[in-house]
Structure formats: C-alpha cells, structure tokens
Amino acid sequence: MKFQKLFLLLFCSATIFAQMDQSLLNDINSIEGKVIDWRHYFHENPELSNREFNTGKKIAEHLKNLGFDVTENVAHTGVVGILKGDFPGKVIALRADIDALPVTERNDLPFKSKVTTTFLGQETGVMHACGHDTHIAILMGVAEVLSKHKDFLHGTVKFIFQPAEEGPPPGEEAGASLMIKEGVLKNPDVDAIFGLHIGSGTPVGTINYKPGGTMAAVEQFTVNVKGKQTHGSRPWGGVDPIYISAKIIDGFQSIISRESDLTNEAAVITVGKITSGVRFNIIPESAELVGTVRTLDSDMREKIIRRMNEMSRDIAAAYGGTATITWQSNTVITFNDLELTEQMLPSLEAAAGKDNVHLVKATTGGEDFSYFQEVVPGFYFFLGGMTPGNKESFPHHTPDFLIDDSSMLLGVKVFCQLTLDYLNKTN
C-alpha cells in the first residue's frame, strides 16, 4: 500500500494539482464532528490576548496525543507542533490565531460564552467575536488528518497556534512578531507559511483570495490635547480641549476625503475612544483621543501619518491649546507572495471547486500574519462562514458575530490540499 501511495504522489506531481487519496478524503469528512465540538468548546471558553492559558493546554494535549513534537508557551501562550513526513523535503507552516476579544456575546447559542473579565479597568464579557475559535478547530482537525497520512508527505509540517493576534495588553509583547523573535520559523526553517480567516459575510463553501496586498497596515494612535480648565458657564475663561478634539477629528477625516488618492488604494482613519472631563459644568484641562489608521500603500501611509502629526499640532494651536500624537505600529501590510499565490491557486480550486474560488479586492482589516510574510513567502486567504441563503451577516468584532459550523470542513480540506500540493510538488 505504501508503494501505491508513493506512485500516486509521483504521478500527481506531474499534474496541475495533487488528487487526494480516497482514504485521506474519508478521514477529512469523518473529522467534522470533532472539529465542531472543538470549536464549541473554545467558543464557550474564550481567553484574551496573552492569557490563552487553557486554550494552549488543550491544543498542546491534542498534538501530543497525535505524537507531534510539541513546544508550549511560545510567545507566552502559543503552541507549536511539528509533523515529519515519511519522506524528506521542504517545511511548510500552517497558522491559526487563538485569542478572543473583550466583547459581551448577545447570541443565544447552546455554547454561548458567559465568560467575563476586567479589561483596561472595565468589566466586560469575553467572546470569540472574530472566529478564531474556528481557526483553532480547523487546524486541530488538519493535524489529526495529516498525522494519519505521513506516508503522503515529502517534508515537514509546522503547526503554529498563535496567541494575541488582536494585540497584547499595554506594555506587553505578543503575537506573530514575538513568535518570530523566539524562533518559530527556525529549527526546522520554514519555506512557506499559510493562513486563513473565516468570514461572517461570505457564504459557506466559498474561498476568497487576493495576490499582493490583501489586508491593511494597522497603526494605533493616541492624541493628547491640553487646554485650560474653567467653569462650564465661562468658556472664555479657559481653553476647551473637547472642542479642540472635535476639530482635530474633523480635520483627520479631511485627510482621507480631500488629501488621499483613494483611486490608488483605500485608507481609513477612525477615532474609537475619547476620554475627557468629570462633570457637566466643568471644561476640563485635557482630552485623549485613541484610534487607528488603516493603509494599503506605503507612500499613503507615510503621508497620512505626517499630515495627522501636523494637523493635530496646528489645529490645537489655532484654538489656544496644544496637542501631541504618539504612534504604535500593530501590523504591516498583509502581502500574499505573488509567485506562491499563483502556484497554490489550483489547490484552492481543487479543494473548493473552481466556481467557488473568488478573486477579491483588498480589505482594510489588519492581520499580524503579515509579520510572518516579511520573513518567508506566505499566502493568506478567506473562508466563507455565512449560512447559505442568509441575507444578513453579523460583522466581526460585534456581540452578534455568528459563524455556521458547516463552514469548517472546507477549511480542513483546503489546508490539507495546500500542504500536499506544496510539499509534493516543490521537492
């Protein structure tokens, strides 16, 4: 039987893509129930960035039971498992993010999250409101399937379960960049890396992809505005930092609407938090604005940051106050290697069907998978998660975020197809 499988692999390497052995397909189909159960467990027991302690333990236990070489506590709570094929060859990495968000779930699911915590001084629920629970479950399923078919693999598969994709708590390192610093792409050295993201607005059974820049660079900014405190009945006696803040926010939007060439690429400036004042009749001394910038072009990024620095300073001065702005770069542009994307497109089509694979435009969401792509060629794609026939989807990062369980089996199949095709065609 082993020689028959070897012959099949050698034959398929000369074709456009490898045809899956029926036994492998059977194992993929039979894993669906486990994948759904795992997803329900992680959804019901979510953990925030850099605090994925139990999540990591459950993942590690699964990989150890499969006989993998397992490393725990990578970048605080991450897990890495290594599966060596029966034949020598290249090294492929498959990545899943594992953290949840400070969101209180509104869905009425049997596995609804009821977890609560204190985040940045505020009481909040904890929810897998971006689908990372599905990512974990899919990759655990891929690990189990491929562990049974090492005699198909010309090379090594590195399974990377990454914490803190959503960003660490203030003052902490985390995520893909910390994993890289700790050597996750070394020993053995990774030749290519693949990742996916579930989409609540894309129908089950479909795959979306884009060569080149596919997700935005993400900056976090904080503007500190200083005014002069006075009684609310006598605004002329002070300098109102709240009023200045409103003018700065308005000015920021003019950078997008009047100064950025949106025919080139999209760009977004969002102020997500304003903090100022303690009482209705007091004009406070200071205000703080916190927000994000999303860009898909490096030149546009540099211009927008420069203009926000100038505008916050100059607008504040015009109204008698001062303003300083500080920056934190959260991700770079998620850039799908052009050659690798072209090479693996037939694999997507083989797994999902050609009519179900769609070329799409870039999104202004961000992904720290981009840091892996700065080091090795990477390909990141999107998996449909919306129940077919639904006319309404529930956006990511909201209390109503919802994913159809039936979406995950295709994710398992695609990862298996990509792995087989890459390892057995490039060796």
Determine the Cα–Cα distance for residues 396 and 85; give it in Å rounded to an integer: 37
For residue 230, the SS3 value is strand
Q: What percent of the chain has pLDDT over 70?
A: 95
User: Within a domain: residue 303?
Assistant: yes
The residue to which tokens 């869905």 are assigned: 107
Are the C-beta atoms of 132 and 60 separated by less than 8 Å?
no
Exposure on the CB side of residue 335, measured as CA atoms within 13 A: 17
Tokens encoding 343: 């090479």
Give the C-alpha separation, 249 to 298, whole Å: 23
Which residue do the tokens 């993201």 mark? 197
Confidence bin at 425 (pLDDT 50/70/90):
confident
Is residue 343, in this structure, part of any structural domain at all?
A: no
Query: 196 and 119, same structural domain?
Result: yes
Same domain, 380 and 253: no
Dump pLDDT digits (tens) for 98-123: 999 999 999 999 999 999 999 989 99
pLDDT value at residue 10:
40
The answer to whether the beta carbons of residues 297 and 265 sit under 8 Å apart is yes
**Per-residue model confidence (pLDDT) at position 9:** 43
In this predicted structure, what is the pLDDT of residue 336?
97
- What is the predicted pLDDT for the residue at 427? 63
Residues 279 and 373 in one domain: no
Residues 297 and 154 reside in one and the same domain? no
pLDDT digits (tens, 9 = 90+) for 263-275: 999 999 999 999 9
The tokens describing 223, both together, are: 């503007």
Contact 175, 75 (CB under 8 A): yes
Structure tokens at 71: 């490393």
Predicted local confidence at residue 158, as pLDDT: 98
Tens-place pLDDT, residues 138-161: 999 999 999 999 999 999 999 999
pLDDT at 16: 35
Please list the alpha-helical segments (H only) found in 325-393.
338-352, 369-375
HSE-CB for 354 with a 13 A CA cutoff: 2
Report the CATH number at residue 28.
3.40.630.10
How far is it, in rounded angstroms, from Cα 78 to Cα 397?
Answer: 22
Side-chain half-sphere CA neighbours of 127 within 13 A: 23
CA separation for the pair 203, 392 (Å, rounded): 11
State how far the Cα of 321 lies from the Cα of 115, in Å rounded to an integer.
43
Contacts of 13 (CB under 8 A, 6+ apart): 424, 425
CB-based contact 400:214 (threshold 8 Å): no
Q: Does residue 35 sit within a domain?
A: yes
- Cα–Cα distance, 9 to 252 (Å, whole number): 56
Q: Decide which of 18 and 370 is more confident.
A: 370
Identify whether 23 is part of a domain: yes
Whether residues 226 and 162 fall in one domain: no
Going from the C-alpha of 131 to that of each of 179, 395, 416, the distances in angstroms are 21, 11, 20
Same domain, 37 and 177: yes
Give me the CATH number covering residue 301. 3.30.70.360
Would you say how long the chain is, in residues? 427
Residue 169 clears pLDDT 90, i.e. is over it: no
pLDDT digits (tens, 9 = 90+) for 364-376: 999 999 999 999 9
Residue 63 in domain: yes
pLDDT of residue 4: 46
Per-residue pLDDT, averaged over 64-88, amounts to: 98
On whether both 202 and 100 belong to a single domain, the answer is: yes
Establish if 348 belongs to a structural domain.
no
The reply to whether 242 and 205 lie within a common domain is no
Q: What's the rounded Cα separation, in Å, for the pair 405 and 199?
A: 12
Is the domain of 224 the same as that of 310? yes
Q: Are strands 192-203 and 378-386 parallel, antiparallel or unpaired?
A: parallel
Write out pLDDT tens, residues 201-255. Answer: 999 999 999 999 999 999 999 999 999 999 999 999 999 999 999 999 999 999 9
204 and 221 fall within a common domain: no
- Nearest CA-CA partner of 168 in 104, 99, 79: 99
pLDDT for 11: 41
Percent of the chain clearing pLDDT 90 (strictly above): 90
Chain centroid to Cα 215, Å, comes to 10
Handedness of CA 386, 387, 391, 393 (dihedral sign): negative
Q: What is the pLDDT of residue 278?
A: 96
Angle among Cα 412, 178, 42 to the nearest 5 degrees reads 40
Angle at which helix 132-147 crosses helix 408-425, to 10 degrees, equals 50
Contact call for residues 56 and 49 (beta carbons, < 8 A): no
297 and 368 part of one domain: no
Cβ atoms of 55 and 45 closer than 8 Å: yes
Residue 336 within any structural domain of the chain: no
| C-alpha span between 158 and 63 (Å, rounded) | 11
Residues 144 and 205 in one domain: yes
- pLDDT for 17 equals 43
pLDDT of residue 391: 84
- Cα within 13 Å of Cα(285), Cβ side: 0
**Domain span including residue 295:** 217-331
Q: Is the pLDDT of residue 13 over 90?
A: no
The count of structural domains within the chain is: 2
In a domain, 86, yes or no: yes
